[in-house]
Amino acid sequence: MILYQGKVKDILEGPEPGTVLVRFRDDVTAGDGKKRARFVGKGRVSREISEHLFQYLERQGVPTHYVGPYDVTSFVAKKVNIIPLEVVVRNVATGSLVRRLGIPEGKVLDPPLMEFFYKNDALHDPLICRNHVFLLGICDERTLDAVEVLAEKANHLLKGYFQERGLRLIDIKFEFGRDPDGRLVLADELGPDIMRVWTLDGRSLDKDVFRQDKGNLMEAYHELRNAVIRR
């Protein structure tokens, strides 16, 4: 039974109580859902990358919703109450940060910059600050502090993981939730739709290939997958 149908994934009832299936479809969207397409095999490769990175973060002590494998396009996760916050961590300036603030494209951000967006389709996921988080009742201060610590740690670990494979993690969007025991966990996905990864010579292996029509999306996603699964 489908519990929730998102733009690119479905959330279904899981095999055990308190679990869900996170199922990746072959859809891709960009520009607030205005640009859409479908690529055969995208769901599978997004699931593979996502699952691999969740397993890596779990081994490194980051609590996540990941439970285990299921099938080619789905994995089992804890059912969580998603905090309606998109936590973006940026290691290098690009995209909306460059457009909004005029920061030079490609500038290294050290320490990484953390931004919050209110996860609300009707409002088009606006950029918000800490005070807005509390004003909107998105979460309390202790939770936000814990979210920041986890986002920073996950970004740091993933940045290193990609670095070891000759790739640069440019930025990434995290979502967090509370599992049935009330534990704060990293949720949603860790695929190339929610992060930017560049090769050392500056090619994108992520959704920018689709956003900016710069090449073959599936080739880029497969190249990323092959790097991610390399030991």
Residues binding ligand ADP (CB under 6 A): 4, 6-9, 11, 20, 22, 65, 77-80, 82, 175, 177, 187-188
Instruction: Using the minimum distance from each CB to ligand ADP, give the nearer residue, 99 or 124.
Output: 124
Of all residues in the shown chain, the one whose CB is closest to ligand ADP is 6
Spell out the alpha helix ranges (H) of the chain. Answer: 42-59, 96-101, 130-135, 141-163, 208-211, 217-229
Q: Closest CB to ligand ADP among 26 and 199?
A: 26
Query: Around Cβ 130, how many Cβ atoms within 10 Å?
Result: 12
Cβ-based nearer residue to ligand ADP, 187 or 224: 187
Q: Which is nearer to ligand ADP, 83 or 92 (CB)?
A: 83
Smallest distance from the beta carbon of 199 to ligand ADP, in angstroms?
25
Phi-psi region of 200 (alpha: psi -120 to 50; beta: other; left: phi over 0): alpha
Min dist. Cβ of residue 23 to ligand ADP (A): 9
Please report how close the Cβ of residue 56 comes to ligand ADP at its closest, in angstroms.
18
Residue with tokens 């000759």: 166
* 75 versus 161: smaller Cβ distance to ligand ADP: 75
**Sign, Cα dihedral of 43, 192, 36, 114:** positive
CB of 214 to ligand ADP, least distance (A): 23
Q: How far is the CB of 150 from ligand ADP (least distance, A)?
A: 15
Q: Which is nearer to ligand ADP, 84 or 95 (CB)?
A: 84
- Min. distance of Cβ 225 from ligand ADP in angstroms? 18
Contacts 24+ apart (CB under 8 A), 148-155: 148/87, 148/114, 150/62, 150/63, 150/174, 150/176, 150/184, 150/186, 151/87, 151/89, 151/114, 151/176, 152/89, 152/112, 152/114, 153/62, 154/57, 154/62, 154/89, 154/186, 155/89, 155/91, 155/112
Q: Are strands 9-13 and 19-24 parallel, antiparallel or unpaired?
A: antiparallel
